Amino acid sequence: MSRLLILGVSPLPFESTERSFGPGTRTWQLTEPLLDDGHDILLVGMRIPMTYPDDAPPELIEQRGGLTYASITGELYFQPPYVQNAYDEFQPDAVIFAHGSASFADSILDASVPVWIDLCGHVMAEAQAKAAVYGDDSFLDYFFSKMLGSLFRGDVFSTVSDAQGWALVGELGMAGRLNSLTDGVRLVHTIPCGVEEDDYRHERTVLRGIDVEDEDFVVLWSGGFNTWTDIDTMFEGLSYAMDRDPSIRFVATGGQIDGHDEITYPRFVELIEASPHRDRFILKGWLQRDLVPNYYFEADVGINCEKDIYEVRLGSKHRILDWSRAGLPVVSTRVTELSEAVEEDGVGFICKAGDPVALGTTILAAAERRNELAQMGERFRQSMRRRYGFRASTEALRVWAAAPAFAPDHERAPSCLQAMLADAEAAKDPADGSADGGGVPAAEVDNDPSRAAPLQETRLQWIGRVVRKSYEDGGMRMILTRALTRFARHQG
């Protein structure tokens, strides 16, 4: 068995907190099977803001069998030397970043053991979605500077979909990771969003006879209204259905995602307030996590309405899988690989994205089959468990964790984008930090056979030093600009 340092996101699914998000579920999806396999695990969870009580201490440590779990604030996580100290004291055989956001800081850890990085969701596609909502492309530079180092530091990677896996392969090619030493080596594995083995139980009445009547047809939204949410199609589709069926009610648990998307939900509320059906939209806001599954049992269908954008096409949806634990069928737009699986197995209602009439018609079709929904929900539960159970979905990670190994190019000298960053750093004038045109020309460096030989400085040490230096000198955008300028000059 191995000693594994897992760096992920809190809160985890078994914690009773006011809010719960996909990154915590993802962290537990990668952790629980390894714990069941008998590994000795130290899990450090970076807290999502505003998920714990305001008076919670910055560090909470819990022992659960072979698991030591430290839940810490984001400030503590990203402020050296907490993570480094945890690594030094635990002395792991490998490090696993159980969610991409936990890996977005090169200065927190200098590891000398193999590293697995899970990139659950395509970072730059998420940046694009946020930039579109806010009308601000500065988010692209911010997200790029956060994720770039991961491409150089990981020995093996995982993604949330096959589509994202191929996108990551392209990014690794730009980073110089598709080289002679990694030819034929699988650097990327797909770990789809997983569903927990335990089913939910209906513990108390929260909706029927309180906010809706027993005969109403309830369409449930649960979770945050994120940048990918197509609120226009969802609102218009619901309105279309409400115009034709007076029993339809929309209930939402969740709401605005503070600090990430503070536009989408308020705009959705504005649409509702101007609607003639506003009394049929019930917005419950964020609820205690333990209370939410009761709403699943009292709803008729869950609704998932996404924009047809790259973030969604490359991603997945934890909430759909969570609904399956209560046997709640889903009405969803057809964008993710998960929605295609639901449609393929015939265990939900899937429609075209961006088409309000198609969505409204699909909701009406679900309402007409109300008497069949319990049976469909059971098939849905079985289908999702078979496809996306934690153990089955993490098989590649479990095999690797039993015998962690470096990537073959672990000590290979930088190339491609990584080499351009190195050249840009070497070309700077020590006096003012500007590119002075001196040093070895890029073309000569590229032809130097020593570039393919192992260096005394490892790839991990190099990227840590370069990224830290780039932040000191004004950010990755400036470094890349200098690199591209030098490249163009030498090519000319």
**pLDDT score, position 359:** 98
**pLDDT score, position 461:** 54
**pLDDT score, position 435:** 45
**pLDDT score, position 452:** 38
Instruction: For 161-176, write each residue's pLDDT tens digit.
Output: 999 999 999 999 999 9
**pLDDT score, position 104:** 83
Instruction: For 134-153, write each residue's pLDDT tens digit.
Output: 999 999 999 998 899 999 99
**pLDDT score, position 480:** 53
The reply to whether domains 3-194+392-402 and 217-388 share a CATH topology is yes
Domain chopping of the chain, boundaries = 3-194+392-402, 217-388, 416-491
Which residue ranges in the chain fall short of pLDDT 50?
Answer: 435-457, 470-471, 473-475, 478-479, 482-483, 485-487, 489-492
Tokens found for residue 265: 């939900």
Instruction: For 444-456, write each residue's pLDDT tens digit.
Output: 333 333 333 344 4
**Assigned CATH for 3-194+392-402:** 3.40.50.2000
Q: What class has domain 217-388?
A: alpha beta
